[in-house]
């Protein structure tokens, strides 16, 4: 059986379907067969002809892949086009910010449409992306690697943790310039993160 070797080989579309199977199927054998059907393309009728030990081995492999913790990717390619993460979150427009806080951790495709857009200009690691046009075209991200989205979630989670550690000082206006620089070195401001803390759902197995 041809199986994905890591999350970069799993599309967002398949990941969403996999989580739906896991959440709705009560019988483990049913979960195993449906996940193998999803990731191998083999029918249930074909799969039941395989030895149970082989099915279980492949099922455990899929489970391991789905639970990987990918690294944050600033850029990636989709259908021959390079997409980039918002270069500076401190300069987000209100529409972007509202859509991001409303969708991050809840709607994977909509979140991707806010966070990643086609790169219009690039020099080494510095780049510009297209202006934000909303999430109506979010379906184009169905074939993007789920590793990109999950890596971005971890990115926000780490920044949120840093903010929570410094929040008492921040509220008392005692935050040092060095601490501010640590939080904002990735282009993220405290004003944005303080509200993300309240809105973000960081559970990785959401659609």
Evaluate if residue 102 carries a pLDDT over 50.
Answer: yes
Q: What is the pLDDT of residues 48-94, one digit of tens each?
A: 999 999 999 999 999 999 999 999 999 999 999 999 999 987 788 88
Which of 117-154 are b and which e, b meaning 16 or more Cβ less than 10 Å from the residue's Cβ?
A: bebeeeeeeebebeebeebeebeebbebbbbbbbbbbe
Final residue of a structural domain among 15, 45, 66: 66
Q: Are 135 and 101 in contact (CB under 8 A)?
A: no
Adjacency order of strands within the sheet including 126-129: 75-78, 81-85, 116-123, 126-129
Cα separations in angstroms, 46 against 4, 37, 49, 50? 19, 9, 6, 7
d(CA 177, CA 137): 40
The answer on 104 and 47 residing in a single domain is: no
The answer on 90 and 60 residing in a single domain is: no
Q: What is the pTM of this model?
A: 0.80
Final residue of a structural domain among 19, 44, 66: 66
Evaluate if residue 204 carries a pLDDT over 90.
Answer: no
């Amino acid at each position: 059986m041809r199986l994905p070797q890591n999350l970069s080989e799993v599309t967002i579309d398949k990941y969403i379907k996999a989580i739906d199977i896991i959440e709705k199927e009560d019988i483990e054998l049913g979960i195993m067969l449906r996940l193998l059907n999803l990731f191998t393309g083999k029918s249930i009728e074909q799969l039941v002809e395989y030895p149970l030990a082989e099915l279980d081995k492949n099922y455990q492999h899929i489970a391991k892949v789905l639970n990987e913790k990918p690294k944050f990717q600033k850029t990636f390619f989709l259908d021959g086009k390079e997409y980039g993460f918002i270069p500076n979150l401190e300069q987000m427009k209100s529409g972007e910010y509202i859509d991001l806080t409303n969708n991050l951790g809840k709607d994977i495709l909509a979140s991707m449409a806010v966070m990643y857009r086609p790169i219009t200009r690039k020099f080494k690691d510095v780049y510009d992306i297209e202006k934000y046009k909303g999430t109506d075209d979010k379906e184009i991200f169905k074939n993007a690697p789920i590793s990109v989205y999950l890596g971005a979630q971890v990115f926000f989670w780490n920044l949120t943790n840093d903010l929570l550690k410094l929040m008492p000082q921040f509220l008392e206006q005692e935050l040092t310039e060095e601490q501010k620089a640590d939080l904002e070195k990735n282009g993220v401001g405290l004003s944005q993160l303080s509200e993300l803390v309240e809105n973000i759902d960081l559970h990785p197995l959401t659609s």
